[in-house]
């Protein structure tokens, strides 16, 4: 014990054990590191799993946000497309927009074999049978049945639904008839000598008094001419895209054609037959 006290005094006064202390520190350092390995390993493992759990939560949150953003982006694209379509029906974009009624397509007819759609406008919005219906691309069809709040539109692709048309390129008049198939219109009774080609466009001629003249109807997609037949087989694709849009424009019915001038009443009176025999002279 006395020796320990002496060493302590010597170390405190004269730093006699400083070199020994440094040597022991160098020798003990590897042992300290080896003893700390298990605790460091446990700490690193715990940190790894905590980081994995945090990353998984963050990844899940990011997936949810991506889905939300995707839904918002799709809704924005839909709204932008509808806005562009409505702008195409607005005044200034179409000369037939003034006075028209924008209607929404509610659903198609219940019968799958007919081409008809139901609109959300009816008699209360002054919709009447016979009114033409268009979209931003062209003629959709014609109002054929009207209720109080809804109306039924027969599409131009409906079988035997006819529209008088005119070829834009050369003014050739024809009759576009629905084929009963989606996306197809027939142009019957055209002679094989008729000047018509693929890519030609038809517009309404206006001679039927139902559709205003100049509305885009269809584009010719197929022309088959056989000299053995009198008429050519012509198919066209409708310009309107009612299957792609939610809104259409119901145009007011064209004004009735002016009646022929009435014949004067004097012209309608039959001529008096001349009296037979001599007539008496008037008294002088």
Beta strand residue intervals within the chain, DSSP E: 101-108, 116-119, 132-134, 139-146, 151-155, 162-167, 173-178, 185-186, 190-191, 201-204, 216-224, 231-238, 247-250
Q: Which residues of the chain does CATH 2.40.10.340 include? A: 100-255
Provide the token pair at 268: 């309608």
Provide the CATH topology of domain 100-255: Thrombin, subunit H (2.40.10)
184-203 pLDDT, tens digit per residue, is: 899 999 999 999 999 999 99
Quick check: helix, strand or coil at residue 37? helix
**Per-residue pLDDT tens digits for 213-248:** 888 899 999 999 988 888 999 999 998 876 777 788
Q: Are 139 and 216 in contact (CB under 8 A)?
A: yes
Please give the chain's pLDDT, 284 residues, in tens. Answer: 776 676 677 666 666 566 666 666 767 777 777 777 777 777 778 777 778 888 888 888 887 777 667 656 666 665 666 666 566 665 444 445 456 888 889 988 777 788 899 999 999 999 999 999 988 788 999 999 999 999 999 999 998 889 999 999 898 999 999 988 878 899 999 999 999 999 999 999 888 888 888 888 999 999 999 888 889 999 999 988 767 777 888 988 766 555 555 544 444 455 555 544 444 444 44
Q: What is the pTM of this model?
A: 0.59
């Amino acid at each position: 014990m006395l020796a320990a006290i002496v060493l302590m005094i010597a170390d405190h006064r004269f730093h006699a054990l400083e070199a020994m202390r440094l040597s022991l520190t160098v020798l003990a350092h590897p042992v300290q590191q080896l003893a700390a390995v298990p605790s460091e390993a446990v700490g690193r493992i715990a940190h790894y799993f905590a980081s994995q759990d945090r990353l998984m939560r963050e990844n899940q949150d990011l997936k949810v946000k991506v889905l939300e953003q995707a839904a918002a982006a799709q809704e924005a694209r839909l709204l932008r497309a509808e806005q562009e379509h409505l702008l195409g029906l607005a005044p200034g974009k179409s000369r037939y927009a003034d006075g028209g009624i924008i209607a929404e397509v509610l659903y198609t007819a219940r019968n799958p074999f007919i081409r008809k759609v139901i609109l959300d406008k009816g008699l209360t919005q002054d919709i009447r049978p016979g009114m033409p219906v268009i979209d931003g691309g062209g003629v959709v069809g014609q109002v054929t049945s009207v209720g109080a709040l809804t109306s039924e539109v027969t599409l131009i692709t409906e079988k035997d639904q006819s529209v008088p048309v005119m070829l834009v390129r050369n003014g050739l008049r024809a009759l576009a008839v629905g084929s009963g198939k989606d996306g197809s219109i027939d142009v019957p009774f055209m002679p094989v000598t008729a000047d018509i080609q693929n890519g030609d466009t038809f517009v309404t001629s206006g001679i039927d008094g139902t559709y205003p003249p100049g509305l885009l109807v269809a584009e010719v997609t197929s022309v088959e001419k056989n000299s053995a037949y009198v008429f050519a087989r012509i198919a066209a694709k409708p310009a309107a895209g009612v299957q792609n849009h939610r809104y259409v424009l119901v145009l007011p019915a064209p004004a009735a054609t002016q009646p022929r001038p009435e014949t004067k009443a004097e012209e309608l009176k039959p001529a008096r037959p001349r009296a037979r025999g001599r007539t008496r002279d008037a008294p002088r």
